[in-house]
Amino acid sequence: MPEVKTTDFYKTADTRPCDGTILDGDVDTTQQLPHGLTRLPSGAIAVTRLYCPNGHNLIERSAARFNLLPGITVRVRGKYTYGELILSPIHGDDSKFGDTDFEPGEVLRISCPHCDSEFPAVQPCGCRDGSMLVGFFLDKSLIEGSQVVICNAWGCLRSRILDRFQIISKLE
Ligand SMILES: [Zn+2]
Ligand SMILES: [Zn+2]
């Protein structure tokens, strides 16, 4: 199991419904979240909008649902194959639909399904050679540091949700 870290506002344990995520931690459910982020009863955070570097919303076109929430559509290109993937909008939920025929650890080019803009690398992930954490924008105004960041290596779950460079939710 990957190590899961939660931030300071996660407080005392209580019983929460399980939504299939692997994030754990105790949560202040009264906290208001920015950027259209929403807190599920389980405490996990979900995104409701997410933009490419040209301002296309990656969430509006998918019919796939994760806990009733629409998924995030991206284009992915690996060594031998490419296609579209629909990712869960719930942080810590690794379920996905679409073209998933990649090798474990394969480094992918992840781009917008509308304009094919590649998502910018934020920093190396370190899980393997050449893997990078790449960032999606939480706001249409494309604010750097208010982003969802994921690793571009297939199967690596390292990811974070950032608000003005502060970590709201983190999976190592
Ligand atoms: Zn785009
Ligand atoms: Zn990684």
pLDDT in tens, 138-161: 999 999 999 999 999 999 999 999
DSSP state of 168: E
Kindly state the percentage of the chain with pLDDT values over 90.
73
Asked whether residue 14 carries a pLDDT value surpassing 50, the answer given is no
Residue 105 alpha carbon to ligand 2 centre in Å: 8
Length of the chain: 172
Q: Which residues surround ligand 1, an ion (CB under 5 A)?
A: 52, 54, 56, 112, 114-115, 117
Bridge partners, 166 (sequence order): 163
Nearest bound ligand to the CA of residue 127? 2
Q: Which pLDDT does position 148 carry in this prediction?
A: 97
Gap between the Cα atoms of 13 and 16, Å rounded:
9
DSSP state of 152: S
Give me the pLDDT at residue 20, please.
Answer: 59
Ligand positioned closest to the Cα atom of 134:
2
Q: Which ligand is nearest to the CA of 159?
A: 2
97 Cα–ligand 1 center, Å: 20
Are 149 and 160 in contact by the 8 Å Cβ rule? The answer is yes
Give the Å distance between the CA of 156 and the centre of ligand 2. Answer: 5
Check residue 11 and give its pLDDT: 36
Rounded Cα distance between 139 and 59, Å, is 12
Q: Point out the ligand nearest to the CA of residue 114.
A: 1
Residue among 62, 96, 103 at smallest CA distance from 81: 103
The answer, yes or no, to whether residue 123 has pLDDT greater than 80, is yes
Residue 64 has pLDDT above 70, yes or no: yes
Q: Tell me the CA–centroid distance for residue 101 and ligand 2, in Å.
A: 18
Per-residue pLDDT, 41: 87
Which one is predicted more confidently, 14 or 76?
A: 76
**pLDDT confidence tier of residue 30, bands split at 50, 70 and 90:** low
- Nearest ligand, measured from the Cα of 160: 2
Cα 12 to middle of ligand 2, angstroms: 30
Confidence of residue 82 (pLDDT cuts 50, 70, 90): very high
